[in-house]
């Protein structure tokens, strides 16, 4: 079932429950409670909490400010029109503009009543409280498989990183042209990161941020892989060092996983760099340019490994 299907179910439940509670409490305009509850349901749990708090604050301001306007200047449509831009300006200045529309709906109910009444004000406050409470409760208890999905994305990222390195190895050995595969893979990982960030917003009762941190770390590594791929494509003439790097990267593929294999791999890379430094100096311009590219690749590999090492130091 797609995410918007779950959202539609949540909205339907919020509408029914909020209206039912409002009817039970004999509130005026109970339908408004349902509409406000539907508006409070967002794509993720985190967004729902964030927007709900903004709308609650904005509703309180609208009801109090609207009451003052109508009480001192009259319960007329013209006063409501004058009140609206002032309220909108206040909402924007406080960065709670997400609550403008539902808050204006509540303020309009003060106008419809035509006279000052504590019961009408209390009714408006109760409607927004019911709506937000229902929306938050539904989002909190609505079953999700966010943790399992993130775990799945973690495996997908690891597999993609392995494929990415395989493409670089193939490029270094000049076996085939893999540009199309490289572009598709990079775009797939970019989309997967966005999905993971959305899923992570559904996990509001856990302080363990390792899953999303791991995925972001892997995506950061793809930036180094992307540069490595371009560097490997820039090599014009074969060089013995490029095949040594290819061998190193090929051995690295099997170490891609959740355990800290980056630290020992960095030690191997340091030894590889020391081996390079003992080699004779370049004999011609082309040899010099190729070795310069390969040196850059080594430093990109080092940065790639450092991303993983830093993750393990943090978690």
When mean pLDDT is compared across 10-24, 48-62, 78-92, 272-286, the lowest value belongs to: 272-286
Q: How confident is the model at residue 24 (pLDDT cuts 50, 70, 90)?
A: very high
In the block, which residue shows the tokens 């993971």?
196
pLDDT greater at residue 2 or residue 177:
2
Q: What is the pLDDT of residue 288?
A: 78
Q: What is the pLDDT of residue 94?
A: 92
Q: What is the pLDDT of residue 98?
A: 86
Q: What is the pLDDT of residue 126?
A: 93
276-287 pLDDT tens trace: 777 776 677 777
Could you tell me what percent of the chain has a pLDDT over 70?
A: 94
pLDDT greater at residue 214 or residue 176:
214
In CATH, the number for domain 146-314 is 1.20.120.940
Q: What is the pLDDT of residue 310?
A: 94
Query: How large is the average pLDDT for residues 182-211?
Result: 80
Residue 65 has pLDDT above 70, yes or no: yes
Q: What is the pLDDT of residue 177?
A: 60
- Residues 55 and 36: their CA atoms lie apart, in Å, by 10
- Residues 298 and 109: their CA atoms lie apart, in Å, by 68
Q: What is the pLDDT of residue 206?
A: 61
- CA 44 vs. chain centroid, Å, equals 10
Break the chain into its structural domains and give their ranges: 3-141, 146-314
Query: How large is the average pLDDT for residues 140-154?
Result: 80
pLDDT greater at residue 225 or residue 147:
225
Using left for φ > 0, alpha for ψ between -120 and 50, and beta otherwise, residue 51 falls in alpha
Helices (H), 115-256: 118-141, 146-172, 179-200, 210-233, 240-253
pLDDT greater at residue 203 or residue 82:
82
Could you tell me what percent of the chain has a pLDDT over 90?
A: 48
> Which of the 8 DSSP states describes residue 97?
G
Residue 132 has pLDDT above 80, yes or no: yes
Question: Residues 125, 81: contact at Cβ < 8 Å?
Answer: no
What tokens does 198 get? 């959305």
> Which of the 8 DSSP states describes residue 55?
H
Contacts of 283 (CB under 8 A, 6+ apart): none
Average pLDDT, the chain: 87
Question: Residues 124, 113: contact at Cβ < 8 Å?
Answer: no
- Residues 39 and 55: their CA atoms lie apart, in Å, by 10
CA 13, 18, 22: angle at the middle one, nearest 5? 155
108-128 pLDDT tens trace: 888 888 888 889 899 999 999
Q: How many angstroms separate the first and last alpha carbons of the chain?
A: 33
- CA 275 vs. chain centroid, Å, equals 43
Q: How confident is the model at residue 207 (pLDDT cuts 50, 70, 90)?
A: low
Q: What is the pLDDT of residue 178?
A: 65
């Amino acid at each position: 079932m797609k995410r918007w299907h779950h959202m539609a179910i949540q909205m339907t439940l919020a509408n029914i429950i909020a209206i039912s509670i409002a009817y039970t409490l004999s509130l005026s305009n109970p339908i408004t409670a349902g509409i406000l509850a539907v508006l409070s349901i967002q794509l993720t749990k985190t967004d729902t909490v964030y927007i709900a708090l903004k709308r609650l604050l904005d509703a309180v301001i609208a009801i109090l400010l609207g009451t003052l306007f109508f009480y001192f200047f009259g319960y007329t449509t013209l006063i409501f029109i004058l009140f609206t831009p002032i309220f909108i300006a206040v909402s924007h200045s406080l960065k709670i503009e997400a609550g403008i529309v539902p808050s204006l709906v509540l303020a309009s109910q003060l106008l419809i009543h035509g006279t000052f009444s504590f019961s009408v004000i209390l009714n408006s406050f109760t409607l927004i409280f019911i709506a937000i409470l229902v929306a938050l409760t539904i989002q909190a208890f609505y079953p999700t498989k966010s943790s399992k999905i993130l775990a799945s994305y973690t495996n997908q990222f690891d597999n993609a990183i392995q494929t990415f390195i395989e493409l670089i190895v193939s490029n270094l050995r000049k076996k085939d042209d893999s540009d199309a595969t490289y572009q598709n893979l990079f775009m797939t990982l970019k989309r997967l990161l966005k999905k993971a960030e959305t899923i992570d917003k559904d996990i509001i009762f856990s302080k363990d941020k390792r899953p999303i941190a791991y995925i972001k770390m892997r995506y950061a590594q793809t930036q180094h892989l992307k540069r490595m791929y371009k560097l490997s494509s820039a090599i014009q003439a074969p060089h013995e060092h490029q095949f040594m790097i290819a061998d190193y990267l090929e051995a690295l593929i099997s170490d891609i996983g959740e355990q800290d294999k980056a630290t020992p791999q960095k030690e191997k890379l340091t030894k590889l760099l020391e081996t390079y430094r003992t080699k004779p100096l370049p004999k011609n311009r082309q040899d010099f340019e190729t070795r310069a590219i390969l040196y850059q690749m080594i430093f990109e590999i080092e940065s790639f490994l450092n991303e993983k090492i830093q993750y393990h130091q943090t978690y």
